[in-house]
Amino acid sequence: MPDTGFMLLSILICTRNRETKLKQALQSVLALEFPPGADYELIVVDNGSTDGTGQVCASLAPLFNGRMRVVYEPKPGLGRARSLAASIAAGEIAACIDDDIVPDRNWLKVIHREFSADPSLQGISGRVELLNPMDLPMTIRRSMQRVEAQAVSEMYDLFVGCNMAVRADLLGRVGSYDPDFGAGSLFLSAEDTDFWYRCWRHGAKLVYVPELLVYHDHGRRSLEDKRKLARAYTSGRGSFFAKHFWHDINVMKEMYWETRLVMSGKCEWGWRQLAWLYRGFLHYWIHRVFCWVKGWGSSEAEPAVVHSDR
C-alpha cells in the first residue's frame, strides 16, 4: 500500500571552494516545488573551503526559514563529507545533489512520489543533463528507460551520486560512504559507485527514475579537462574493483571486460585508460597493506564528527 503519511526529506550538498556554483545550487533548492504532505531540511557540508562559501551560506540561510544547516568538515574528501551530512540528517529520506547541480523544479515531488508509492524501494537515481550546452557532454545520464539495478556495471554507468535519494535506514544497514573514496580523497572518485554497490549487494531495491532530473553545470570544455576527469573516474573505478573483487567474482569480470575493451582499441584514451585503471587497483592494495602493517584497520564508513557549525 502507498504511504500517505508525512515525509521529511533531507537534502545534502557537499561543497569546497565553489561559492558561485553553490549559490546557484542553493537558489535552485529555494525554487523547488513542495510535494503535499512533505517538508525538507537542507544540510550543507563545507569541506574546508577557503573562498566565500561561508558568506554565501550566511546570506542565503534566512531565505530557508530555519530549514538550512551548515557544518564544517576540514579534512577533504567527498566520501567523508557525504558521510558527515548523512550522519546528522533527520529525514527519513536522504537526497544528494552536488554543488554544481541545479535540480528540476519537480525534483522533490518525484522523490516523494517514488518512496511513497513503493515501501520496498530503497534508493533512486536519475537523469543528469547539461545546464550549459557549451560544456562537454560528460558526467551526464540521458536514458529515458526506468531500470531496476541488476548488474555491477550499472553502479557506475547508470547510478550517480549527484542525483540520488535513499531511505535513511539503509545507511544504518550498509554503512555510509567510504571516506577514502571521492573527489579530494585518496582514491579520487567512486564514492558513489562504492556506496551504490554495497546497497545493491545488501539486497536493496534500487531504481533509475528518468523523471528524477537535474542539470549539471560542470563547466568542462577543454580536452585537458576531459582527460583529467577520465583519469580520476577510471582510477577510482580501479580502486573500487580492488576493494570488492575478493568477495564478488562479478566485480573482477567487469574489470576483465574493461581491460579487453581497452586492448581492442575501442576506447578513446587507449593504453592510458588501462594504466589509470590498474594504477587505481594497485594503489588501493598498496594502501591496504600499508594500513595493515601500521595496524590502522579499515577507515570505511567511520563515524563522522561535526567539527563546527557555521
Chain centre distance of CA 101: 12
| Domain membership of residue 258 as a residue range | 223-294
Pairing of strands 205-216, 68-72: unpaired
What's the CA gap between 57 and 272, in Å, rounded?
40
Residue finishing a domain among 190, 220, 250? 220
Q: pLDDT tens digits for 252-280?
A: 999 999 999 999 988 999 999 999 999 99
Pick the more confident residue, 302 or 109.
109
Residue 241: partners with Cβ closer than 8 Å, 6 or more residues away: 251, 252, 254, 255, 277, 280, 281
Q: What is the CATH number of the domain that holds 143?
A: 3.90.550.10
* Interval 151-163: pLDDT, tens: 999 999 999 999 9
Tell me, yes or no, whether 280 and 256 share the same domain: yes
What is the pTM assigned to this prediction? Answer: 0.92
Out of 166, 200, 220, a domain closes at: 220
User: Do 68 and 215 lie in a common domain?
Assistant: yes
The number of distinct structural domains making up the chain is 2
Same domain, residue pair 16 and 98: yes
What are the pLDDT digits (tens) for 75-94? 999 999 999 999 999 999 99
* Average pLDDT of the residues in 192-216: 98
Q: d(Cα 108, Cα 35) in Å, to the nearest integer?
A: 7
* Cβ-contact 35, 48 below 8 angstroms: no
Classify residue 299: in a domain, yes or no: no
pLDDT higher at 209 or 303: 209
